[in-house]
Structure 1
Protein backbone atom coordinates (compact mmCIF):
# COMPACT_ATOMS: atom_id res chain seq x y z
CA UNK A 1 0.00 0.00 0.00
CA UNK A 2 1.13 3.59 -0.63
CA UNK A 3 2.34 5.78 2.22
CA UNK A 4 0.69 9.16 1.67
CA UNK A 5 2.57 10.61 4.68
CA UNK A 6 5.68 10.79 2.47
CA UNK A 7 5.40 13.80 0.18
CA UNK A 8 8.75 13.81 -1.62
CA UNK A 9 7.01 14.39 -4.97
CA UNK A 10 5.02 17.43 -3.82
CA UNK A 11 4.82 19.96 -6.65
CA UNK A 12 6.38 17.60 -9.20
CA UNK A 13 4.81 16.49 -12.49
CA UNK A 14 5.02 12.87 -13.64
CA UNK A 15 4.10 10.86 -16.72
CA UNK A 16 3.72 7.07 -16.55
CA UNK A 17 3.38 5.04 -19.75
CA UNK A 18 1.41 1.82 -19.59
CA UNK A 19 -0.09 3.42 -16.51
CA UNK A 20 -3.68 2.21 -16.74
CA UNK A 21 -3.04 -1.30 -15.43
CA UNK A 22 -0.62 -3.48 -13.48
CA UNK A 23 2.79 -2.13 -12.52
CA UNK A 24 2.18 1.19 -14.26
CA UNK A 25 -1.10 1.81 -12.46
CA UNK A 26 0.42 0.98 -9.07
CA UNK A 27 3.29 3.36 -9.83
CA UNK A 28 1.03 6.18 -10.98
CA UNK A 29 -1.14 5.88 -7.87
CA UNK A 30 1.89 5.81 -5.54
CA UNK A 31 3.45 8.90 -7.13
CA UNK A 32 0.12 10.70 -6.82
CA UNK A 33 -0.24 9.65 -3.16
CA UNK A 34 3.22 11.07 -2.51
CA UNK A 35 2.35 14.47 -3.92
CA UNK A 36 2.92 14.32 -7.68
CA UNK A 37 0.50 15.51 -10.33
CA UNK A 38 0.41 12.39 -12.53
CA UNK A 39 -0.55 11.80 -16.14
CA UNK A 40 -1.04 8.28 -17.48
CA UNK A 41 -0.38 7.33 -21.10
CA UNK A 42 -1.87 4.07 -22.35
CA UNK A 43 -3.72 2.46 -25.24
CA UNK A 44 -6.86 2.11 -23.12
CA UNK A 45 -7.37 4.71 -20.40
CA UNK A 46 -11.04 3.96 -19.72
CA UNK A 47 -10.27 2.72 -16.19
CA UNK A 48 -8.19 5.76 -15.23
CA UNK A 49 -9.85 8.21 -12.89
CA UNK A 50 -8.93 11.20 -10.74
CA UNK A 51 -6.52 12.28 -9.45
CA UNK A 52 -4.72 10.69 -12.41
CA UNK A 53 -4.88 12.42 -15.80
CA UNK A 54 -5.51 10.14 -18.79
CA UNK A 55 -3.94 10.44 -22.23
CA UNK A 56 -4.41 7.85 -24.95
CA UNK A 57 -1.47 6.90 -27.16
CA UNK A 58 0.23 4.01 -28.93
CA UNK A 59 3.96 3.91 -28.18
CA UNK A 60 4.61 2.33 -31.60
CA UNK A 61 3.24 5.45 -33.33
CA UNK A 62 5.56 8.45 -33.12
CA UNK A 63 2.89 10.99 -34.04
CA UNK A 64 0.54 9.54 -31.41
CA UNK A 65 3.29 9.69 -28.78
CA UNK A 66 4.28 13.26 -29.58
CA UNK A 67 0.67 14.43 -29.45
CA UNK A 68 -0.04 12.70 -26.14
CA UNK A 69 3.19 13.77 -24.45
CA UNK A 70 2.67 17.35 -25.57
CA UNK A 71 -0.88 17.32 -24.23
CA UNK A 72 0.23 15.77 -20.94
CA UNK A 73 3.04 18.29 -20.44
CA UNK A 74 0.68 21.16 -21.19
CA UNK A 75 -1.98 19.84 -18.78
CA UNK A 76 0.58 19.20 -16.05
CA UNK A 77 2.37 22.49 -16.57
CA UNK A 78 5.74 20.84 -17.08
CA UNK A 79 7.41 17.48 -16.49
CA UNK A 80 9.84 16.26 -13.86
CA UNK A 81 9.47 12.47 -13.88
CA UNK A 82 9.02 10.05 -16.78
CA UNK A 83 8.31 6.40 -16.06
CA UNK A 84 8.76 4.33 -19.24
CA UNK A 85 6.67 1.33 -18.24
CA UNK A 86 4.68 0.40 -21.36
CA UNK A 87 5.64 -3.06 -22.58
CA UNK A 88 4.41 -6.45 -23.72
CA UNK A 89 5.45 -10.01 -23.03
CA UNK A 90 6.60 -12.84 -25.26
CA UNK A 91 7.22 -16.55 -24.85
CA UNK A 92 9.32 -19.12 -26.66
CA UNK A 93 12.83 -19.94 -27.82
CA UNK A 94 14.51 -18.22 -30.76
CA UNK A 95 12.79 -20.76 -32.99
CA UNK A 96 9.27 -20.05 -31.81
CA UNK A 97 8.61 -16.48 -32.99
CA UNK A 98 8.73 -15.19 -36.56
CA UNK A 99 10.34 -11.95 -37.71
CA UNK A 100 7.08 -10.03 -37.41
CA UNK A 101 6.74 -10.91 -33.71
CA UNK A 102 10.34 -9.98 -33.02
CA UNK A 103 9.81 -6.61 -34.66
CA UNK A 104 6.51 -6.08 -32.80
CA UNK A 105 7.90 -6.77 -29.33
CA UNK A 106 11.10 -4.79 -29.84
CA UNK A 107 9.05 -1.93 -31.30
CA UNK A 108 6.95 -1.71 -28.13
CA UNK A 109 9.49 -2.59 -25.45
CA UNK A 110 12.54 -0.76 -26.75
CA UNK A 111 11.71 1.73 -29.50
CA UNK A 112 8.55 2.70 -27.64
CA UNK A 113 10.72 3.96 -24.76
CA UNK A 114 12.83 5.87 -27.25
CA UNK A 115 9.80 7.58 -28.77
CA UNK A 116 8.35 8.65 -25.44
CA UNK A 117 11.68 9.83 -24.04
CA UNK A 118 12.48 11.75 -27.21
CA UNK A 119 9.17 13.57 -26.98
CA UNK A 120 9.57 14.27 -23.25
CA UNK A 121 13.20 15.46 -23.25
CA UNK A 122 12.53 19.18 -23.88
CA UNK A 123 10.25 19.37 -20.84
CA UNK A 124 12.58 17.28 -18.68
CA UNK A 125 15.51 19.55 -19.54
CA UNK A 126 13.59 22.44 -18.00
CA UNK A 127 13.12 20.60 -14.68
CA UNK A 128 15.35 20.94 -11.61
CA UNK A 129 14.46 17.40 -10.53
CA UNK A 130 14.37 15.50 -13.82
CA UNK A 131 14.32 11.72 -13.58
CA UNK A 132 13.55 8.87 -15.97
CA UNK A 133 12.84 5.35 -14.74
CA UNK A 134 12.59 2.51 -17.25
CA UNK A 135 10.84 -0.75 -16.45
CA UNK A 136 13.32 -3.52 -17.23
CA UNK A 137 13.20 -7.12 -15.92
CA UNK A 138 15.08 -9.95 -14.25
CA UNK A 139 15.06 -11.34 -17.80
CA UNK A 140 17.81 -8.85 -18.64
CA UNK A 141 20.25 -10.44 -16.21
CA UNK A 142 19.18 -14.08 -15.82
CA UNK A 143 18.80 -16.71 -18.51
CA UNK A 144 15.14 -17.69 -18.29
CA UNK A 145 13.75 -20.59 -20.36
CA UNK A 146 11.19 -19.84 -23.06
CA UNK A 147 11.82 -16.09 -22.92
CA UNK A 148 14.32 -15.44 -25.74
CA UNK A 149 12.49 -12.53 -27.37
CA UNK A 150 11.34 -10.94 -24.12
CA UNK A 151 14.83 -11.26 -22.62
CA UNK A 152 16.42 -9.68 -25.70
CA UNK A 153 14.07 -6.71 -25.43
CA UNK A 154 14.75 -6.20 -21.72
CA UNK A 155 18.49 -6.64 -22.17
CA UNK A 156 18.26 -3.80 -24.65
CA UNK A 157 16.33 -1.71 -22.11
CA UNK A 158 19.07 -2.16 -19.51
CA UNK A 159 21.77 -1.12 -21.99
CA UNK A 160 19.61 1.76 -23.21
CA UNK A 161 19.20 2.95 -19.62
CA UNK A 162 22.96 3.13 -19.13
CA UNK A 163 23.48 4.96 -22.41
CA UNK A 164 20.70 7.44 -21.64
CA UNK A 165 22.15 8.06 -18.18
CA UNK A 166 25.53 8.90 -19.74
CA UNK A 167 23.99 11.11 -22.42
CA UNK A 168 21.86 13.22 -20.11
CA UNK A 169 23.66 13.36 -16.74
CA UNK A 170 25.18 16.76 -17.53
CA UNK A 171 21.73 18.06 -18.42
CA UNK A 172 20.59 17.22 -14.91
CA UNK A 173 18.46 14.27 -16.00
CA UNK A 174 18.90 11.06 -14.01
CA UNK A 175 18.11 7.75 -15.75
CA UNK A 176 17.68 4.43 -13.95
CA UNK A 177 15.76 1.20 -14.39
CA UNK A 178 13.90 -1.18 -12.13
CA UNK A 179 14.28 -4.93 -12.74
CA UNK A 180 11.26 -6.81 -11.37
CA UNK A 181 11.18 -10.54 -10.95
CA UNK A 182 7.97 -12.36 -11.83
CA UNK A 183 5.28 -9.98 -10.62
CA UNK A 184 1.67 -10.69 -9.80
CA UNK A 185 0.16 -8.74 -12.70
CA UNK A 186 -2.72 -9.24 -15.17
CA UNK A 187 -0.22 -10.44 -17.81
CA UNK A 188 1.07 -13.20 -15.54
CA UNK A 189 -2.53 -14.05 -14.71
CA UNK A 190 -3.34 -14.53 -18.38
CA UNK A 191 -0.18 -16.61 -18.80
CA UNK A 192 -1.20 -18.87 -15.93
CA UNK A 193 -4.74 -19.24 -17.31
CA UNK A 194 -3.28 -20.72 -20.50
CA UNK A 195 -1.15 -23.30 -18.67
CA UNK A 196 -2.18 -26.96 -18.57
CA UNK A 197 -1.99 -26.82 -14.77
CA UNK A 198 -2.25 -23.16 -13.62
CA UNK A 199 -1.70 -24.01 -9.94
CA UNK A 200 1.46 -25.99 -10.67
CA UNK A 201 2.77 -23.29 -13.00
CA UNK A 202 2.18 -20.60 -10.38
CA UNK A 203 3.94 -22.72 -7.76
CA UNK A 204 6.93 -23.11 -10.09
CA UNK A 205 7.12 -19.35 -10.68
CA UNK A 206 6.95 -18.70 -6.96
CA UNK A 207 9.56 -21.34 -6.13
CA UNK A 208 12.23 -19.90 -8.45
CA UNK A 209 12.25 -16.66 -6.42
CA UNK A 210 14.13 -17.12 -3.13
CA UNK A 211 11.35 -15.42 -1.15
CA UNK A 212 9.00 -18.15 -2.40
CA UNK A 213 6.38 -15.77 -3.77
CA UNK A 214 5.67 -13.46 -6.67
CA UNK A 215 6.62 -9.79 -6.50
CA UNK A 216 3.71 -7.42 -5.87
CA UNK A 217 2.91 -4.43 -8.08
CA UNK A 218 3.17 -2.17 -5.02
CA UNK A 219 6.72 -3.38 -4.34
CA UNK A 220 7.78 -2.51 -7.89
CA UNK A 221 6.05 0.87 -7.61
CA UNK A 222 7.99 1.55 -4.41
CA UNK A 223 11.27 0.88 -6.20
CA UNK A 224 10.31 3.16 -9.09
CA UNK A 225 9.39 5.92 -6.63
CA UNK A 226 12.74 5.53 -4.87
CA UNK A 227 14.66 5.94 -8.11
CA UNK A 228 12.50 8.85 -9.30
CA UNK A 229 12.49 10.76 -6.00
CA UNK A 230 14.49 13.97 -5.59
CA UNK A 231 15.83 12.31 -2.43
CA UNK A 232 17.81 9.99 -4.77
CA UNK A 233 19.58 12.81 -6.56
CA UNK A 234 22.95 11.01 -6.65
CA UNK A 235 21.53 7.85 -8.21
CA UNK A 236 21.81 7.49 -11.98
CA UNK A 237 22.78 4.69 -14.36
CA UNK A 238 21.56 2.14 -11.82
CA UNK A 239 19.39 -0.97 -12.18
CA UNK A 240 17.44 -1.88 -9.06
CA UNK A 241 16.41 -5.53 -8.73
CA UNK A 242 13.00 -6.18 -7.17
CA UNK A 243 12.98 -9.92 -7.64
CA UNK A 244 12.81 -11.63 -4.27
CA UNK A 245 16.55 -12.26 -4.43
CA UNK A 246 16.44 -14.09 -7.74
CA UNK A 247 19.29 -12.16 -9.35
CA UNK A 248 21.92 -12.59 -6.67
CA UNK A 249 20.98 -15.32 -4.20
CA UNK A 250 21.88 -19.00 -4.60
CA UNK A 251 20.12 -20.87 -1.80
CA UNK A 252 20.72 -24.48 -0.89
CA UNK A 253 17.65 -26.73 -1.09
CA UNK A 254 15.33 -26.38 1.91
CA UNK A 255 16.41 -28.52 4.84
CA UNK A 256 20.06 -28.70 3.80
Structure 2
Protein backbone atom coordinates (compact mmCIF):
# COMPACT_ATOMS: atom_id res chain seq x y z
CA UNK A 1 0.00 0.00 0.00
CA UNK A 2 1.12 3.55 -0.74
CA UNK A 3 -1.51 5.48 1.19
CA UNK A 4 0.94 8.28 2.05
CA UNK A 5 2.47 8.86 -1.37
CA UNK A 6 3.43 12.53 -1.52
CA UNK A 7 2.06 13.27 1.94
CA UNK A 8 4.15 15.17 4.48
CA UNK A 9 4.15 13.69 7.99
CA UNK A 10 5.76 14.88 11.22
CA UNK A 11 6.13 12.33 14.03
CA UNK A 12 7.36 13.13 17.54
CA UNK A 13 8.84 10.52 19.87
CA UNK A 14 10.37 9.09 16.71
CA UNK A 15 13.59 7.84 18.27
CA UNK A 16 12.13 4.78 19.95
CA UNK A 17 9.08 2.61 20.59
CA UNK A 18 5.77 3.30 18.89
CA UNK A 19 6.94 6.61 17.42
CA UNK A 20 9.86 4.91 15.71
CA UNK A 21 7.65 2.07 14.46
CA UNK A 22 5.22 4.63 13.05
CA UNK A 23 8.01 6.38 11.16
CA UNK A 24 8.92 3.15 9.39
CA UNK A 25 5.29 2.25 8.66
CA UNK A 26 4.59 5.64 7.08
CA UNK A 27 7.86 5.56 5.11
CA UNK A 28 6.98 2.11 3.79
CA UNK A 29 3.67 3.52 2.57
CA UNK A 30 5.36 6.32 0.64
CA UNK A 31 5.23 9.20 3.12
CA UNK A 32 7.74 12.02 3.42
CA UNK A 33 8.57 12.02 7.12
CA UNK A 34 10.23 14.35 9.60
CA UNK A 35 11.19 12.36 12.70
CA UNK A 36 11.36 14.45 15.88
CA UNK A 37 12.84 13.38 19.21
CA UNK A 38 14.85 14.78 22.10
CA UNK A 39 17.38 11.95 21.68
CA UNK A 40 19.94 12.39 18.93
CA UNK A 41 21.03 8.77 19.36
CA UNK A 42 17.45 7.57 19.00
CA UNK A 43 17.00 9.53 15.78
CA UNK A 44 20.26 8.11 14.46
CA UNK A 45 18.90 4.60 15.05
CA UNK A 46 15.68 5.51 13.25
CA UNK A 47 17.63 6.82 10.29
CA UNK A 48 19.85 3.73 10.23
CA UNK A 49 16.80 1.50 9.99
CA UNK A 50 15.43 3.63 7.14
CA UNK A 51 18.73 3.25 5.30
CA UNK A 52 18.46 -0.53 5.67
CA UNK A 53 14.89 -0.40 4.36
CA UNK A 54 15.78 1.82 1.42
CA UNK A 55 13.52 4.68 2.58
CA UNK A 56 16.12 7.10 3.98
CA UNK A 57 15.65 9.53 1.08
CA UNK A 58 12.11 10.16 2.39
CA UNK A 59 13.26 10.85 5.95
CA UNK A 60 14.74 13.80 7.79
CA UNK A 61 15.34 14.11 11.53
CA UNK A 62 15.21 17.02 13.98
CA UNK A 63 16.21 17.12 17.65
CA UNK A 64 13.50 18.92 19.63
CA UNK A 65 12.57 19.16 23.30
CA UNK A 66 8.78 19.28 22.99
CA UNK A 67 8.43 20.63 26.54
CA UNK A 68 10.32 23.79 25.51
CA UNK A 69 8.40 26.39 23.51
CA UNK A 70 11.47 27.88 21.84
CA UNK A 71 12.74 24.43 20.83
CA UNK A 72 9.36 23.55 19.30
CA UNK A 73 9.13 26.81 17.37
CA UNK A 74 12.63 26.44 15.98
CA UNK A 75 12.69 22.71 15.32
CA UNK A 76 9.11 21.88 14.40
CA UNK A 77 8.46 25.21 12.72
CA UNK A 78 11.65 24.88 10.69
CA UNK A 79 10.83 21.31 9.69
CA UNK A 80 7.39 22.29 8.41
CA UNK A 81 8.89 25.16 6.44
CA UNK A 82 11.40 22.75 4.92
CA UNK A 83 8.63 20.36 3.93
CA UNK A 84 6.66 23.18 2.34
CA UNK A 85 3.62 22.32 4.46
CA UNK A 86 2.23 19.46 6.51
CA UNK A 87 -0.49 16.88 6.00
CA UNK A 88 -0.26 14.70 9.13
CA UNK A 89 0.99 15.22 12.68
CA UNK A 90 1.55 12.26 15.02
CA UNK A 91 2.23 13.30 18.63
CA UNK A 92 3.81 10.09 19.94
CA UNK A 93 6.35 11.65 22.33
CA UNK A 94 5.80 11.10 26.02
CA UNK A 95 7.22 9.80 29.28
CA UNK A 96 5.94 7.30 31.82
CA UNK A 97 6.88 7.47 35.47
CA UNK A 98 5.25 5.96 38.55
CA UNK A 99 4.98 6.93 42.20
CA UNK A 100 2.68 6.73 45.20
CA UNK A 101 0.43 9.73 44.80
CA UNK A 102 1.07 10.97 48.35
CA UNK A 103 4.79 10.90 47.59
CA UNK A 104 4.54 12.65 44.23
CA UNK A 105 6.52 15.89 44.24
CA UNK A 106 5.44 19.00 42.41
CA UNK A 107 8.58 18.69 40.25
CA UNK A 108 7.55 15.13 39.24
CA UNK A 109 3.98 16.26 38.48
CA UNK A 110 5.06 19.28 36.48
CA UNK A 111 7.55 17.29 34.43
CA UNK A 112 4.85 14.82 33.42
CA UNK A 113 2.57 17.67 32.40
CA UNK A 114 5.34 19.52 30.57
CA UNK A 115 6.31 16.62 28.32
CA UNK A 116 3.06 14.75 27.80
CA UNK A 117 0.33 17.39 27.83
CA UNK A 118 2.07 20.72 27.23
CA UNK A 119 4.37 19.11 24.66
CA UNK A 120 1.39 17.79 22.71
CA UNK A 121 -0.19 21.25 22.83
CA UNK A 122 2.96 23.11 21.74
CA UNK A 123 3.66 20.86 18.76
CA UNK A 124 0.02 20.88 17.69
CA UNK A 125 -0.21 24.66 17.94
CA UNK A 126 2.91 25.06 15.82
CA UNK A 127 1.59 22.62 13.21
CA UNK A 128 -2.03 23.78 12.98
CA UNK A 129 -1.62 26.58 10.40
CA UNK A 130 0.07 24.23 7.94
CA UNK A 131 -2.39 21.40 8.63
CA UNK A 132 -5.37 23.69 8.13
CA UNK A 133 -3.92 25.04 4.88
CA UNK A 134 -4.27 21.59 3.30
CA UNK A 135 -8.00 21.40 3.97
CA UNK A 136 -7.63 17.78 5.10
CA UNK A 137 -5.01 17.80 7.83
CA UNK A 138 -4.84 15.03 10.43
CA UNK A 139 -3.64 15.03 14.05
CA UNK A 140 -3.10 11.74 15.85
CA UNK A 141 -2.49 12.15 19.57
CA UNK A 142 -1.46 9.60 22.18
CA UNK A 143 -3.77 8.96 25.09
CA UNK A 144 -3.56 5.70 27.04
CA UNK A 145 -5.82 3.10 28.59
CA UNK A 146 -4.73 4.66 31.90
CA UNK A 147 -6.88 7.70 31.05
CA UNK A 148 -10.04 5.64 31.46
CA UNK A 149 -9.07 2.64 33.60
CA UNK A 150 -7.35 2.29 36.97
CA UNK A 151 -3.57 1.97 36.75
CA UNK A 152 -2.23 2.43 40.30
CA UNK A 153 0.82 4.62 40.97
CA UNK A 154 0.28 6.40 37.65
CA UNK A 155 -2.01 9.25 38.70
CA UNK A 156 0.17 11.95 37.13
CA UNK A 157 0.60 10.00 33.89
CA UNK A 158 -3.13 9.22 33.74
CA UNK A 159 -3.99 12.88 34.27
CA UNK A 160 -1.83 13.92 31.32
CA UNK A 161 -3.35 11.27 29.08
CA UNK A 162 -6.88 12.25 30.09
CA UNK A 163 -5.98 15.84 29.26
CA UNK A 164 -4.70 14.82 25.83
CA UNK A 165 -7.94 12.95 25.20
CA UNK A 166 -10.01 16.05 26.06
CA UNK A 167 -7.69 18.30 24.05
CA UNK A 168 -8.19 16.06 21.02
CA UNK A 169 -11.98 16.23 21.29
CA UNK A 170 -11.82 20.02 21.52
CA UNK A 171 -9.67 20.62 18.44
CA UNK A 172 -11.64 18.04 16.45
CA UNK A 173 -14.78 20.09 17.03
CA UNK A 174 -13.08 23.47 16.63
CA UNK A 175 -11.54 22.75 13.24
CA UNK A 176 -13.90 20.17 11.70
CA UNK A 177 -15.37 22.68 9.24
CA UNK A 178 -11.84 23.46 8.04
CA UNK A 179 -11.31 19.81 7.16
CA UNK A 180 -9.08 18.87 10.09
CA UNK A 181 -9.46 15.46 11.73
CA UNK A 182 -8.14 14.82 15.23
CA UNK A 183 -8.12 11.41 16.88
CA UNK A 184 -6.41 9.75 19.83
CA UNK A 185 -5.00 6.28 20.12
CA UNK A 186 -5.08 4.69 23.56
CA UNK A 187 -2.51 1.89 23.66
CA UNK A 188 -2.39 -0.65 26.46
CA UNK A 189 -0.51 -3.92 26.97
CA UNK A 190 2.06 -2.86 24.36
CA UNK A 191 5.68 -3.94 24.81
CA UNK A 192 7.86 -0.88 24.21
CA UNK A 193 10.74 0.96 25.82
CA UNK A 194 8.33 3.07 27.85
CA UNK A 195 6.50 0.11 29.39
CA UNK A 196 9.57 -2.07 29.92
CA UNK A 197 10.40 -0.21 33.14
CA UNK A 198 7.63 2.12 34.36
CA UNK A 199 9.54 2.71 37.60
CA UNK A 200 6.98 1.19 39.94
CA UNK A 201 7.52 1.76 43.67
CA UNK A 202 9.47 -0.99 45.41
CA UNK A 203 6.43 -1.84 47.53
CA UNK A 204 3.94 -1.80 44.63
CA UNK A 205 1.03 -4.23 44.92
CA UNK A 206 1.69 -6.31 41.82
CA UNK A 207 -1.66 -8.09 42.05
CA UNK A 208 -3.14 -5.05 40.30
CA UNK A 209 -0.99 -5.65 37.26
CA UNK A 210 -1.84 -9.32 36.91
CA UNK A 211 -5.14 -8.04 35.50
CA UNK A 212 -3.40 -6.24 32.66
CA UNK A 213 -3.25 -9.20 30.31
CA UNK A 214 -4.72 -9.06 26.79
CA UNK A 215 -7.93 -11.08 26.40
CA UNK A 216 -6.67 -12.31 23.03
CA UNK A 217 -4.24 -14.54 24.88
CA UNK A 218 -1.16 -13.80 22.81
CA UNK A 219 0.68 -11.62 25.31
CA UNK A 220 1.68 -8.00 24.88
CA UNK A 221 1.79 -6.71 21.30
CA UNK A 222 4.70 -4.83 19.76
CA UNK A 223 4.87 -1.17 18.69
CA UNK A 224 4.15 -2.15 15.08
CA UNK A 225 0.60 -3.08 16.11
CA UNK A 226 -0.10 0.51 17.12
CA UNK A 227 1.74 1.92 14.11
CA UNK A 228 -0.62 0.01 11.82
CA UNK A 229 -3.67 1.56 13.45
CA UNK A 230 -2.12 5.03 13.24
CA UNK A 231 -1.45 4.53 9.53
CA UNK A 232 -5.10 3.66 8.97
CA UNK A 233 -6.39 6.63 10.98
CA UNK A 234 -4.02 9.13 9.35
CA UNK A 235 -4.74 7.92 5.81
CA UNK A 236 -7.86 8.38 3.72
CA UNK A 237 -9.07 5.05 5.09
CA UNK A 238 -9.84 6.97 8.29
CA UNK A 239 -11.53 9.86 6.50
CA UNK A 240 -14.74 9.65 8.58
CA UNK A 241 -13.03 9.21 11.97
CA UNK A 242 -12.53 12.27 14.18
CA UNK A 243 -13.04 13.43 17.74
CA UNK A 244 -12.71 9.99 19.28
CA UNK A 245 -10.30 7.48 20.83
CA UNK A 246 -9.24 4.12 19.48
CA UNK A 247 -8.25 1.69 22.24
CA UNK A 248 -5.50 -0.76 21.22
CA UNK A 249 -5.05 -3.24 24.05
CA UNK A 250 -6.02 -6.69 22.83
CA UNK A 251 -9.11 -6.63 25.03
CA UNK A 252 -7.23 -6.05 28.29
CA UNK A 253 -10.00 -3.75 29.43
CA UNK A 254 -12.89 -5.44 27.64
Same fold flag (TM > 0.5): yes
Match of 2:51 in 1: none
> Structure 1 residue 187: deviation in Å?
2.1
| Alpha-carbon displacement from aligned partner over 1:76-106 (angstroms, at most 9, x marks no partner) | 2210000011100021232121011101101
Match of 2:233 in 1: 227
Q: Distance in 1 between matches of 2:145 and 2:90?
A: 18
Give 1:190's match in structure 2, choosing from 193, 197, 202.
197
Q: Distance in 1 between matches of 2:12 and 2:164?
A: 15
After TM superposition, the structure 1 stretch with the greater mean CA deviation from structure 2, 226-235 or 204-213, is 204-213
Structure-2-length-normalised TM-score: 0.88
Q: Does 1:209 align with 2:214?
A: yes
Structure-1-length-normalised TM-score: 0.87
Match of 2:99 in 1: 92
RMSD: 2.2
**Contact conserved, 1:215 with 1:242, CA < 8 A, in 2?**
no
> Structure 1 residue 168: deviation in Å?
1.2
- Secondary structure of the residue aligned to 1:40 is strand
- Secondary structure of the residue aligned to 1:227 is helix
Q: Distance in 1 between matches of 2:127 and 2:210?
A: 36
Structure 2 unaligned segments of length 5 or more: list them: 48-55
**Contact conserved, 1:29 with 1:52, CA < 8 A, in 2?**
no
| Alpha-carbon displacement from aligned partner over 1:158-209 (angstroms, at most 9, x marks no partner) | 11110111111111110000000021111222348x898xxxx7xx568532
Q: Relative to structure 1, is the Cα distance of residues 191 and 216 closer, same or farther in structure 2, using a 3 angstrom cutoff?
A: same
Q: Relative to structure 1, is the Cα distance of residues 103 and 128 closer, same or farther in structure 2, using a 3 angstrom cutoff?
A: same
| Alpha-carbon displacement from aligned partner over 1:134-159 (angstroms, at most 9, x marks no partner) | 01110011111221111111111111
Q: Does 1:102 align with 2:102?
A: no
Structure in which a larger fraction of residues adopt helix? 2
Match of 2:44 in 1: 46
**Contact conserved, 1:182 with 1:243, CA < 8 A, in 2?**
yes
Give 1:12's match in structure 2, choosing from 3, 7, 17.
7
- Secondary structure of the residue aligned to 2:103 is coil
**Contact conserved, 1:65 with 1:119, CA < 8 A, in 2?**
yes
Structure 1 unaligned segments of length 5 or more: list them: 1-5, 250-256
**Contact conserved, 1:130 with 1:172, CA < 8 A, in 2?**
yes
**Contact conserved, 2:6 with 2:32, CA < 8 A, in 1?**
yes
Q: Distance in 2 between matches of 1:88 and 1:207?
A: 20
